[in-house]
A = this chain, B = another copy of it.
Amino acid sequence: MNYDVVVVGGGPSGIQAALSARIAYPDRTIALVRREEIALQIGALSHVLGSLGSLGESIFPDRFLTQRDIELIVGQVEGCQDSQLRLHDGRKVSYHKLILALGGRPEPLAVPGSDLPGVIEFTRDYDCLKRLGEALVSVRSVMLVGGGRTGVEITAELTRSGKEVTLVESKAHLLSGLVDPEFGQVIEDELIRIGATVITGYGVRAFAGRQSVLGADLADGRWVTADLVILAPPFRPATQLAEAMGLRVDPANGVIVDEYLRTSAPGIHAVGECAAARSFFATERQRTTLMSEAMAQARLAGSNLFTINVAKSYSGSLGSFSVKAGELVLGVTGLTELKAASLGLQCMVGLAETTDRHPPGISGANKVMVKLLFDRCSHHLVGAQVVGGESTGECVNMLAVMVQKKMTDMEIDTLQLGTHPLLTPSPLGYGVIAATVDAVRNWTPTERGLLVRPIAAASAATATPRKGRSDSAARSK
């Protein structure tokens, strides 16, 4: 078998890369090789056990590819030589251009008892989810290990479906490394409000049980009972094939790629979880862990295969995502205050509190908290964290556009943004504008002279959850 373009990997980044290649190169032959018989929409899997209703809903329909003249080959790639992939059953697939979308695999968890029946690792494949779904039918108490995005969302879904759920995270806060502590705390509070138990700061020392798991000993000596344990560890890049092919690989972060997602070998690209791209803010390469990053990489790689469009280069991984827990949505883009500090970026913080409908007394209004970070030198927006209702999912995309376009505080303050009583904060207190004004007022020249809030005051926010200050535009009432 011989194709102009071959994509290895059936996850979202592989699919998107194949689709983008199809649009950019309508006359080329394209094949997608994946090892799974049944492919899942992996972005939705945390919700298979709840909102999504059934596992069937999450199955990726193969006709989505075949209708677009993308050949689907199911098989495990065992090696690659002279522009030819070798599959487990001896089939050979030749390519002119290759896109590796190899995905990731869970970080191993070295905890005694992990092999007990009833301890299931959330590996994102069909069999795992089927087993989980079956196991859940008969259990009452569930323990989630890992307070990242997956752990938080599964905890919320299972709690809502009536299980007794305990979420255990060894770091001091949920979503550690992804959000500033005060936002991790907001999510923790919401999980507790809907009925979950949350333990942070102590990991699992050992799982215990006989025929099946009965619970776990935590590092602080506590015992947590559980009929079922779900491990939700972070994923690491799956780079085995890339290493075997002799590509440059940073084992911790993935296959090394440039701004066109090209690897060290000509004609071979890598995208998504297996790829180590540069950060948007620093030159270091980093893991690709977010769908927003993987999709942009896949679109760009797919359309820069035989030709290069310089306007379509990857600007570096930004870190945009949203998480829903209970009634709350948390959206994040760019740097957190902690991450900015670790990079040596001096930032001004702007805060605002408002409601996502107005006037605040209207039914269905959720509280909104906005935290913006502006670079002190350039005044560019470099990061945003928002908590609110469901519109937060799109609100944070607006903020992601602002960061990617390097918008300054003044530019944001001059924006015309629409408001609507049933859909957004008040025109007098639109959260993003109000938080920008909060940042600006502390460093712009006033009639009294230049007034700049000391950095210490801003970074104090990382230590204690700060309340939104009484900014005159921050409240809509």
Taking Cβ atoms with an 8 Å cutoff, the residues of A that contact B are: 12, 15-16, 19-20, 22-27, 41, 43-44, 47, 51-53, 57-58, 61, 64, 68, 290-296, 299-300, 306-307, 309, 311-315, 317-318, 320-324, 329, 331, 333, 358-359, 361-363, 390-398, 400-402, 404-405, 407-408, 410-411, 413-424, 426-428, 430, 433, 437, 441, 444-448, 472-473, 475, 477
A15 and B418 form a contact (CB under 8 A):
no
With A57-B362, A307-B447 known as contacts, the answer to whether A415 contacts B296 (CB < 8 A) is: yes
Q: How far, in whole Å, are A408 and B437 apart by their CA atoms in the complex? A: 28
Q: How far, in whole Å, are A408 and B423 apart by their CA atoms in the complex? A: 28
Q: Which of A397, A418, A433, A437 has the most CB of B within 10 A?
A: A418
List of B residues within 8 angstroms of A402 by Cβ? 401
Chain B minimum-CB-distance residue to A361: B57
Residue in contact with A421 in the complex, picked from B25, B51, B300, B395, CB distance below 8 Å: B51
Q: How far, in whole Å, are A47 and B419 apart by their CA atoms in the complex? A: 14
Q: Which of A51, A315, A410, A472 has the most CB of B within 10 A?
A: A472
B418 and A331 form a contact (CB under 8 A):
yes
Copies in the complex: 2
A397 and B417 form a contact (CB under 8 A):
yes
Q: How far is the CB of A375 from chain B (nearest CB, A)?
A: 15
B19 and A473 form a contact (CB under 8 A):
yes
Chain B minimum-CB-distance residue to A415: B404
| Closest CB pairs A-B (n = 4) | A393-B423, A398-B398, A311-B410, A394-B394
A295 and B404 form a contact (CB under 8 A):
no
Chain B minimum-CB-distance residue to A69: B472
A309 and B25 form a contact (CB under 8 A):
no
List of B residues within 8 angstroms of A26 by Cβ? 446, 448
Q: How far is the CB of A41 from chain B (nearest CB, A)?
A: 6
Chain B minimum-CB-distance residue to A315: B414
List of B residues within 8 angstroms of A324 by Cβ? 420, 422-423
Chain B minimum-CB-distance residue to A475: B64
Q: How far is the CB of A329 from chain B (nearest CB, A)?
A: 6
B416 and A359 form a contact (CB under 8 A):
no
With A44-B359, A311-B411 known as contacts, the answer to whether A416 contacts B394 (CB < 8 A) is: no
Q: How far, in whole Å, are A423 and B47 apart by their CA atoms in the complex? A: 12
Q: How far is the CB of A10 from chain B (nearest CB, A)?
A: 13
Residue in contact with A362 in the complex, picked from B15, B52, B292, CB distance below 8 Å: B52
Chain B minimum-CB-distance residue to A63: B477
B51 and A428 form a contact (CB under 8 A):
no
Chain B minimum-CB-distance residue to A25: B447
List of B residues within 8 angstroms of A52 by Cβ? 359, 362, 421
List of B residues within 8 angstroms of A398 by Cβ? 394, 397-398, 401
